[in-house]
Amino acid sequence: MNATTTTPADTLQRSGLTLVLCFCAAIIEGIDLQSMGIAAAGIAAEFHLTKEALGSVLTASPLGLFFGAFLGGRSADLWGRRNALILSIVVFGVFQLATPWAPGYSGLAAIRFLCGVGLGGALPNLIALTAEASGGRNNILNVVITAAGMPTGGAVAALIGFSAGPTGDWRTIFYVGGIAPLLLAPVMAALLPESSLFQKARATALGAREKLSIFYTLFDRARVRQTLLLWIAFFCSALMLHLLLNWLPSLMVAKGFSKPQAFLIQIIFNVSSAVGPYLAGQLLGAGATATQVLQSLLPMTAAAAIAALLLMFLPRSDDLAS
């Protein structure tokens, strides 16, 4: 799609279409991100994995996310955010679908790593397309709505596990998580518009200059402190998030809860994860300053840390019943 002069109505239509498609993609990514946590017990039994081996397999996807985010961001600079997003969706769909057919432990770990690469490549492009959908205005609410699609997808994943019951087939979550993105990819190829900001940058050759100055942009003396603090904050938040996504159902089962109860707890966790960002976006609004964002992040981060610590002292289910 070439950059052309558009009317406000055209911009609104493009923005709405981008938000809907990106939200759908975020839901599917949320299903895939939490699939391993939902299916961990079944995978361990099927592949005869020790706890250490299962931990390595569960770590493979988050490790792939690291490399995928870097590759996804760079490929977006070269080929466009739309194309990079569609490619990432196809990649994680293919390897999600391949997970039940892994030949063994090594193959399973490799497949999950490559699935993580696709998932990591999709995330920055989802956020970038959403943030730039309205001509580059920093609409916090639109971004958090798209981001809320991931815990919504996580709730769907937990619901699939809950509805299957304690004896359900663990492969189902991977079939759903693999087929859905492969169906969405051609729809996005046909309907998803490219970011107007990327089109303008490409037309004026700004992208080339940005690529040369990316290190300066991040680590200029005036920005190095902010960059490092943001990296540390995001790393700690992502670490806690992925620990909960992968281990919360297993932790609840170890605490004496049944598998359906553990999946119900996972559903509650994801629903609250979707509602929280939406409420924060409504509270902050589109014109929030950096100070206001920081002031809202501090109590939310503290509350999340306290809640995670409380899981350590959660009594067993049979103790609660007695």
Query: Is pLDDT of 184 > 80?
Result: yes
Q: What is the CATH number of the domain that holds 308?
A: 1.20.1250.20
Q: What element of type H or E holds 91?
A: helix 81-98
Query: Is pLDDT of 207 > 50?
Result: no
Do you know the residue count of the chain? 322
Q: Has residue 1 been placed in a domain?
A: no
Structural domains counted in the chain: 1
Closest residue by Cα to residue 153 from 259, 251, 273: 273
Least confident of 72-81, 214-223, 300-309: 214-223
DSSP 170: T
CA 200, chain centre distance (Å): 28
Average pLDDT for the chain: 81
Q: Which residues contact 263 (CB under 8 A, 6 or more apart)?
A: 38, 158, 159, 161, 162, 249
Confidence of residue 293 (pLDDT cuts 50, 70, 90): low
Rounded average pLDDT over 58-63: 89
Q: Has residue 124 been placed in a domain?
A: yes
Confidence of residue 194 (pLDDT cuts 50, 70, 90): confident
Residue 286: domain span: 8-315
Per-residue confidence (pLDDT) for residue 102, from 0 to 100:
94
Q: Which residues contact 275 (CB under 8 A, 6 or more apart)?
A: 148
DSSP letters along 144-159, please? Answer: HHHHHHHHHHHHHHHH
| Prediction pTM value | 0.80
| d(C-alpha 49, C-alpha 52), whole Å | 8
Max mean pLDDT range (24-33, 77-86, 134-143, 158-167): 24-33
Least confident of 56-65, 172-181, 191-200, 311-320: 311-320
Q: Has residue 322 been placed in a domain?
A: no
Max mean pLDDT range (113-117, 213-217, 272-276): 113-117
Q: Has residue 36 been placed in a domain?
A: yes
Q: Has residue 320 been placed in a domain?
A: no
Q: Has residue 321 been placed in a domain?
A: no
**92-145 per-position pLDDT tens digit:** 999 999 999 999 999 999 999 999 999 999 988 988 888 877 654 556 677 878
Per-residue confidence (pLDDT) for residue 292, from 0 to 100:
67
Q: Has residue 121 been placed in a domain?
A: yes
Q: Has residue 39 been placed in a domain?
A: yes
